[in-house]
Amino acid sequence: MEKIKGLIDTLYLNEDLSDEGLLEIIETIDATSAEYLFDKALEKKAKHYKDTVFMRGLIEFTNYCKQNCSYCGIRGKNSKVDRYRLSKEMILDCCEEGYALGYRTFVMQGGEDPFFTDDILTDIIRSIKARYPDCAITLSVGERSRESYAALKEAGADRYLLRHETASKALYDALHPGMRFENRIACLYTLKDLGFQVGAGFMVGLPNQTSKDLVADLRFIKTLQPEMVGIGPYIPHEETPLNGAKGGTVEETLIMVALARLLLPMALLPSTTAMGTLDPKGREKALKAGANVVMPNLSPTDVREKYELYKDKICTGDEAAHCRQCIEGRIKSAGFRVDMGRGDHASISIPEGAKPIQIIG
The residues of the shown chain that bind ligand SF4, judged by CB under 6 A, are: 65, 67-69, 72, 74-75, 111-112, 142
CB of 208 to ligand SF4, least distance (A): 18
Q: Which is nearer to ligand SF4, 45 or 163 (CB)?
A: 163
Asked if 262 and 12 count as a contact pair (C-beta separation under 8 A), the reply is yes
Q: Helices 320-333 and 88-100 meet at what angle, rounded to 10? A: 40
Q: Which is nearer to ligand SF4, 68 or 210 (CB)?
A: 68
Q: Which is nearer to ligand SF4, 56 or 75 (CB)?
A: 75
Q: What does the alpha-carbon distance between residue 140 and residue 357 come to, in Å, rounded to a whole number? A: 24
CB of 75 to ligand SF4, least distance (A): 4
Asked if 263 and 225 count as a contact pair (C-beta separation under 8 A), the reply is no
Q: Which is nearer to ligand SF4, 111 or 343 (CB)?
A: 111
Q: Give 195's contacts (C-beta < 8 A, 6+ positions apart).
A: 153
Q: What does the alpha-carbon distance between residue 308 and residue 311 come to, in Å, rounded to a whole number? A: 7
Q: What does the alpha-carbon distance between residue 63 and residue 142 come to, in Å, rounded to a whole number? A: 12
Q: What is the DSSP letter of 297?
A: B
Q: Which is nearer to ligand SF4, 243 or 333 (CB)?
A: 243
Side-chain-side CA neighbours of residue 149 (13 Å): 23
Burial 271-306, CB ≥16 within 10 A → b, else e: bbbbbbbbbeebbbbbbbbbbbbbbbbbbbeebbeb
Side-chain-side CA neighbours of residue 20 (13 Å): 1
CB of 21 to ligand SF4, least distance (A): 32
Q: Hey, which residues does 229 pair with through a beta bridge?
A: 200
Q: Which is nearer to ligand SF4, 75 or 104 (CB)?
A: 75
CB of 219 to ligand SF4, least distance (A): 23
Asked if 196 and 158 count as a contact pair (C-beta separation under 8 A), the reply is yes
CB of 74 to ligand SF4, least distance (A): 5
Q: Which is nearer to ligand SF4, 70 or 292 (CB)?
A: 70
Q: What does the alpha-carbon distance between residue 66 and residue 199 come to, in Å, rounded to a whole number? A: 22
Q: What does the alpha-carbon distance between residue 181 and residue 163 come to, in Å, rounded to a whole number? A: 12
Q: Which is nearer to ligand SF4, 10 or 68 (CB)?
A: 68
CB of 113 to ligand SF4, least distance (A): 9
Q: Which is nearer to ligand SF4, 232 or 290 (CB)?
A: 232
H helix intervals, 156-296: 169-175, 181-193, 211-224, 250-263, 273-278, 282-288
CB of 89 to ligand SF4, least distance (A): 23
CB of 95 to ligand SF4, least distance (A): 22
CB of 166 to ligand SF4, least distance (A): 12
Q: What does the alpha-carbon distance between residue 356 and residue 180 come to, in Å, rounded to a whole number? A: 42
